[in-house]
Amino acid sequence: MICPFCSLLCDANDLNEIDCGLQNKSIVQLAKLRSQLDASFNESVTDTEMETAAAIELLKNAKRVLITGRVASVQTARAAVSLAMKVNGTIDCAEAGHVFKNVLAIQRSGIHSVSLAEARDHADLLIVIGGDALLDDCPRIPNSLNSENASPKTVLLLGTFTDKSTAAWTAAGFQPWSISCKIESVPTALTQWSRATLQFSPNRMTSQLFIAMDTAKYTAVLWSAASLRVEQTDLWVERLLHWIASQNETKRCAALPWTSLDGTFQQVCTWLTGFPGRIRFHDGNPSFDTFTNSYESWLARSCELESDSVVIVIDETAATDPFIAKMVFWLGRKFHVIELTSGSMRFPTAVAGAEVAADIFRADQTLLAHLSPSRECDKSRVRPAAYWLARLAP
């Protein structure tokens, strides 16, 4: 099944059986939000209808509309694109641009990609780039990549990993090698290694690693743009993809770029419009610009205008860091804000896959599954984000 809190394929039939710190933290956050809602909720059906009507009126009169936030499900992604098309708005739901760091590189260089299942069953060498933040964001990656029927695989950890990460990969059945280095230099270092020979190895231990790398028949390279701490990440990814492509001249080497839950929006938006997001609609026609149509650029431009602007903030997760909402509310004097989030008092939004059924992509972007809710919510007031978006359509 797919976890609605980190989009990882888990190895249990029931999410409640998994002792995952990220999931536990999200569930605590969700319980807190629902408790706050129960304590303050006193609106009648008529009040809700008035709130909806007021929001629709705002959208009708708005000269500029931005739809942004965290979209985790196919249903909400479809509804968000549909609303943006109807109001001639701008839509950018790729959180902090992490998805686009990979997209820009792939557009320029192409990609040899692999699914999690193929990497698990066939790769005999894993190269994992990043730091402890990778496992903080998705703690069960090692478990999901381990094939119980195979001999222990070599995993090379490049970056700022500590003993914490090494222990996690060891516990999952891997033979980890951790090399501390600057992440910015990894693509260049891999290119230099490809040209080197064993005579340059400084000691026997490193020689063993070089042999494992040199004799590997299938290498999978894993990274998460969200956990990388490098400038111009798209250029970094592009250099890495060029190295991966060069390795396929003599053996199999493939990329396993990890995404967060917002990767689902990218997939759906591409189906519907031909573009992965960052779209401005005019008369229903999409115009793609990865820089101009980002939510940061939109907010910066709108602050300089006196015209009425409306921002629709979506969050159908139980994330504890609502940084998009914070940015919008910090600039709230300039915008009318319509909040569709778990903590909203006007349009309380259910967590996709946890409180309401949802279709969602796995973090390797290869598997779409239908998630049934594992928690009960008051459906008379807590609604899916797709429901609220459909109600807001003028």
26 against 7, higher pLDDT: 26
Pairing label, strands 358-361, 368-371: antiparallel
Instruction: State pLDDT tens for residues 135-190.
Output: 888 888 898 888 776 677 889 999 999 999 999 999 988 989 888 888 888 888 88
List Cα–Cα distances, 273 to 91, 127, 269, 281, 287, in angstroms. 12, 34, 6, 10, 9
Do 144 and 245 reside in the same domain of the chain?
Answer: yes
pLDDT range class, residue 387, cuts 50, 70, 90: very high
Do 84 and 170 reside in the same domain of the chain?
Answer: no
Alpha carbon distance 193, 212 (integer Å): 13
Q: SS3 of 284, please? A: coil
Residue ending a domain, among 233, 258, 283, is 258
5 in a domain, yes or no?
A: no
Do 226 and 240 reside in the same domain of the chain?
Answer: yes
Do 141 and 236 reside in the same domain of the chain?
Answer: yes
Average pLDDT, the chain: 82
Domain that holds residue 319: 15-94+262-392
Mean pLDDT of 208-224: 82
Sheet holding 154-160, edge to edge: 175-180, 154-160, 125-131, 218-224, 252-258
379 in a domain, yes or no?
A: yes
What CATH code is carried by the domain that includes residue 110? 3.40.228.10
The pLDDT value recorded for residue 6 is 74
The pLDDT value recorded for residue 15 is 58
Do 119 and 256 form a contact (C-beta atoms < 8 A)? yes
Do 302 and 202 reside in the same domain of the chain?
Answer: no
Do 241 and 131 reside in the same domain of the chain?
Answer: yes
Closest by Cα among 166, 141, 145, 115 to 22: 141
322 in a domain, yes or no?
A: yes
Do 331 and 356 reside in the same domain of the chain?
Answer: yes
Q: Is the dihedral of CA 368, 111, 115, 158 positive or negative?
A: negative
The total domain count for the chain is 2
222 in a domain, yes or no?
A: yes
Instruction: State pLDDT tens for residues 83-118.
Output: 999 999 999 987 667 778 788 788 787 888 888 888
Alpha carbon distance 30, 33 (integer Å): 5
Do 253 and 271 reside in the same domain of the chain?
Answer: no
Do 213 and 267 reside in the same domain of the chain?
Answer: no
Cβ neighbours of residue 44 closer than 8 Å, sequence gap 6 or more: none
H-helix or E-strand containing 70? Answer: strand 64-70
Instruction: State pLDDT tens for residues 219-232.
Output: 999 998 888 888 88
Residue ending a domain, among 258, 274, 292, is 258
pLDDT range class, residue 197, cuts 50, 70, 90: very low
Burial of 131 (0-12, 13-18, 19+ CB in 10 A): buried
Residue ending a domain, among 210, 243, 258, is 258
